[in-house]
Amino acid sequence: MAHGTVLDGGFFAASLRQTMSFRAEENLTCPVCQDIFNEPVILTCSHSFCRDCVQTWWRGKPSHECPVCKEKTLLSDPPRNLALKNLCESFLLERDSKRSESVCGLHGEKLKLFCLDHQQPVCVVCLHSETHKDHGFRPVDEVAQNRRDELQRHLTPLQGKLTLCQRVRANCEQTAEHVEVQARRTEGEMKRQFEKLHRFLREEEEARIGALREEEELKSRTMKEKTEALGREIAALSHAVRAAEEELRAEDVSFLLNYPAAEERLREVVSYAPVILDPNTANPELAVSEDLTGVTHGERQKLPENPERIDYHRSVLGSEGFDSGTRSWEVEVGDSASWFLGVAAESVQRKGHIHSGIWRLGLSNGQYKACSPSAPAVVLTAKGRRSSGGSEFIWTGTEGTCRSTTSTPTRTYTPSRTRSRRSCSLTSATATNFQLGF
């Protein structure tokens, strides 16, 4: 079959590399023997030759002159050209290395084909050998390009995960800063209030400040550990990205030989994107886990009465809010018979019974329901028993639509009063341990 000539960037790049390699070899060639310099020496005219070549050239002649420019020299034993000698040795090592990678070890021919059955580069002689009888073959450059495209497809989501982890770490750092600011603010408020009380209240003041400092220390330590863990994961992802990018720049044969290991390294990298809870909003009956991704209902705790804490409903809010768009959460609820998951307006009241500004999906009395304080509950038909509860919430700025991932019906709410920012809300009516994740 006739083939037309196609000139592209790859062709010109290959031609340029070939031309540069030829010029390098030409500059390292002895003018006498036309081979790479062997023990080069330099004459007073600055021309260099192999030691044996120049000695042979001078043998039997009355004077010593340069074989190129004919300039005479008084030196019978010219000095060695060490710089040129090192260049020649480096060039020979590089040339031999390239030949060993692209030449068949059995037949000495160039590796131009790729055996699809044995998954290895082969030469034209291997094509007709008994070892590769009835096997499928493709050109090396074609297979290499396909494998590069496949590796790039693995690399793209990995780069996305790296960006996501960096964003999560930034959120953790912001949460840690928020915890510190809130602690300082609460401490100042406590001191101003206790200064107005009598002497017998001093002990109560000291006890509460001590509890506050313990809480601050615990939260700060937790956020530090999480930030360090994310730093290690980001380092691992960065290393994997750099390794994959280096593989993409490798020569075809070298790339194909290292491809299985590179692909395996990419598959071993796992993603991590937790939902971070705001412990300052947790009801006193809820205990937030140390990693701020789970919550357990238990005995009422003695916690600071800060303004953002929800004191009536057993609820806790996420640390990050949103203005619009589609949001999804999946919560591991185990064998809990009652739980709720939803969203709350930033302006939702934190003290006493909540009358508006919250939308929830959940399980209660054996039924999945969508409910809001301002509207009657709607019973949803579940598809099947699951060990996790999920919901999807779409907010347009004026109304919200809730959909349970365990059931098919949807429910639309139009709140009478809203604010621009929303927070993730997790509520529980029984002793339940929640594990959050995207």
Return the closest-CA partner of residue 342 out of 304, 378, 392, 294: 392
Return the closest-CA partner of residue 339 out of 384, 376, 386: 386
Q: What is the pLDDT of residue 53?
A: 93
Domain 25-102 fold: Herpes Virus-1 (3.30.40)
Domain 279-437 fold: Jelly Rolls (2.60.120)
pTM of the model: 0.34
Per-residue pLDDT in tens (0 to 9) along the chain, 438 residues: 333 333 333 333 333 444 445 456 677 889 988 888 989 999 889 899 999 999 998 888 888 889 999 888 888 889 999 888 898 888 888 776 665 567 887 777 888 899 999 999 999 888 888 888 889 999 999 999 999 999 999 888 988 999 999 999 999 999 999 999 999 999 988 888 877 777 777 787 788 888 889 888 988 888 888 888 888 878 888 888 888 888 888 888 888 888 888 777 776 664 445 678 888 889 898 888 887 888 888 888 888 888 888 888 888 888 777 776 666 666 777 777 777 888 888 788 888 888 887 888 888 888 888 888 877 888 877 554 444 444 444 444 444 444 444 444 444 444 333 332 333 333 333 322 222 222
- 3-state SS assignment for residue 382: strand
- Is residue 374 packed enough to be buried (19+ CB in 10 Å), middle (13-18) or exposed (0-12)? middle
Contact criterion met (CB below 8 Å) for 50 and 37: yes
Q: How many degrees, rounded to 5, is the angle at CA 70 between CA 64 and CA 76?
A: 20
pLDDT, tens digit (0-9, with 9 covering 90-100), for 258-296: 888 877 777 666 444 567 888 888 989 888 888 788 888
Q: What is the pLDDT of residue 115?
A: 93
Joined together, the tokens standing for residue 406 give: 């365990």
Q: Where are the domains of the chain?
A: 25-102, 141-268, 279-437
Q: Which helix (H) or strand (E) holds 294?
A: strand 294-297
- Sheet arrangement for strand 120-122: 120-122, 113-115, 137-139
Type of residue found at 334: G
Q: What is the pLDDT of residue 99?
A: 56
pLDDT, tens digit (0-9, with 9 covering 90-100), for 11-40: 333 334 444 454 566 778 899 888 889 899
How far, in Å, CA of 395 to CA of 111, rounded? Answer: 59
Q: How many CA atoms lie within 13 A of 59 on its CB side?
A: 7
Sign of the torsion angle spanned by Cα atoms 29, 31, 33, 37: negative
